[in-house]
């Protein structure tokens, strides 16, 4: 009788311990699931706190003005609207918002069709024996540091574009607004878009290829059994099933293009104005923060650094909005 009682007590203890483990595991999962949202909220709060003096000083004109001037580094700081700034200091970033969106849009315009077609080629045309090798090479391209793409753009793309491609484009497409000359020295919006596209293509190709590979083979074979050609099978059977994946990786690519820094800094020309044509020098928010940080640190009032932080805050908000739009699109497709 005592052994039965001991077994009963032991079983109850084990059951209780397992229940405690389940509760602890659930709490641990919830804790880890909150880390990323907490980091995002913490980053937003930090940027807002650091940029708060600039938010008060610049107002909404910060987003609509093209006037960026750190002021006289050798002048005596003055008080403007209750804030200490260098004489002549003013901060406006409309040209950065335009440059960031335009270069990212051009990058996606080039990268999405190339990436999707490359993924279809690897998944459907490349022989099965070397398909994994080709896919591995594409994935390795996605891991190449951005500064390497920037060097390639500086050494190869800029001279080629300045001497041959852009003059030819200006002659042929000059009747289209924004495509006429002058073509400049090769640094500019179109060059930045091309380099960004090369960085985004491997991401799109690798993810879309995986999505195509996940399509049920039975459905593909059923398409062929009905007499459809390979093109018809891809268009009517495969593509509808990978549409969500294409949208998802497009947004992923857009996120990388928006935040890319070094490669854009090396090929964009870093101009403080809105480009008047597709070849003109420009700058993006991420590249501008890096290029201006050293000068901003010389500002004894700290307003220049605060304004650069405000640019970072705007960039963060843009990234969140882009991802939110992507989620909305995916939900609509599911419905």
Q: Which two three-digit tokens encode residue 237?
A: 């059977």
* Nearest in space to 101 (alpha carbons), one of 252, 284, 263: 284
Cα Rg, the chain, nearest whole Å: 27
Beta bridge partners of 79: 84
Spatial separation of the C-alpha atoms in residues 153 and 130, rounded to whole Å: 30
Spatial separation of the C-alpha atoms in residues 265 and 11, rounded to whole Å: 66
The pTM of the full predicted model, rounded to 2 decimals, is 0.84
* Nearest in space to 285 (alpha carbons), one of 266, 304, 264, 306: 264
Q: What is the pLDDT along the chain (335 residues), one digit of tens a residue?
A: 566 777 777 788 888 888 888 889 888 888 888 888 899 899 999 999 999 999 999 888 899 888 899 888 888 888 888 888 898 889 999 999 999 999 999 999 999 999 999 998 888 888 888 888 888 888 888 888 888 999 999 999 999 998 999 999 999 988 888 888 788 888 999 999 999 999 999 888 988 888 888 888 888 888 888 888 888 888 888 888 888 888 888 888 888 888 888 889 899 888 888 998 999 999 999 999 999 999 899 989 999 999 999 999 999 998 888 878 777 766 665 55
* Nearest in space to 268 (alpha carbons), one of 93, 95, 62, 67: 95
Which residue bears the tokens 């290029």?
A: 291
Give 329's contacts (C-beta < 8 A, 6+ positions apart).
247
pLDDT at 46: 94
* Nearest in space to 197 (alpha carbons), one of 140, 133, 153, 131: 153
C-alpha 266, offset from chain centre:
17
* DSSP code of residue 145: -
pLDDT at 19: 86
Q: Are 304 and 88 in contact (CB under 8 A)?
A: no
Containing 316, the helix (H) or strand (E) segment is helix 303-334
Beta strands in 81-187 (DSSP E): 83-85
Helix (H, G, I), strand (E, B) or coil at 199: helix
């Amino acid at each position: 009788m005592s052994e039965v009682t001991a077994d009963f007590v032991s079983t109850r203890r084990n059951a209780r311990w397992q229940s405690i483990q389940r509760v602890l595991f659930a709490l641990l999962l919830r804790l880890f699931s909150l880390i990323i949202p907490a980091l995002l909220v913490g980053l937003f709060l930090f940027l807002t706190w650091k940029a708060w003096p600039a938010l008060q000083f610049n107002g909404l004109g910060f987003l609509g003005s093209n006037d960026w001037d750190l002021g006289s580094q050798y002048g005596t700081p003055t008080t403007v609207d209750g804030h200490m700034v260098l004489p002549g200091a003013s901060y406006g970033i409309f040209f950065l918002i335009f440059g960031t969106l335009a270069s990212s849009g051009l990058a996606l315009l080039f990268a999405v069709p190339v990436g999707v077609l490359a993924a279809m080629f690897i998944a459907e045309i490349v022989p099965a024996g070397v398909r994994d090798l080709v896919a591995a090479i594409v994935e390795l391209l996605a891991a190449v540091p951005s500064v390497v793409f920037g060097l390639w753009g500086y050494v190869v793309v800029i001279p080629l574009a300045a001497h041959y491609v852009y003059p030819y484009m200006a002659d042929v497409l000059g009747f289209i607004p924004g495509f006429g000359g002058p073509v400049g020295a090769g640094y500019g919006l179109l060059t930045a878009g091309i380099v960004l596209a090369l960085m985004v293509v491997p991401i799109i190709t690798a993810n879309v290829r995986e999505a195509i590979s996940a399509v049920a083979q039975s459905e593909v074979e059923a398409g062929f059994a009905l007499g459809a050609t390979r093109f018809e099978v891809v268009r009517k059977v495969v593509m509808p099933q990978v549409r969500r994946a294409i949208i998802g990786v497009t947004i992923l690519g857009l996120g990388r293009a928006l935040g890319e820094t070094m490669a854009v800094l090396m090929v964009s020309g870093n101009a403080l104005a809105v480009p008047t044509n597709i070849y003109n020098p420009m700058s993006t928010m991420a590249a501008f923060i890096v290029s201006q940080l050293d000068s901003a640190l010389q500002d004894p009032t700290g307003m220049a650094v605060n304004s650069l932080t405000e640019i970072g805050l705007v960039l963060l908000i843009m990234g969140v909005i882009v991802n939110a739009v992507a989620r909305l699109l995916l939900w609509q497709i599911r419905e």
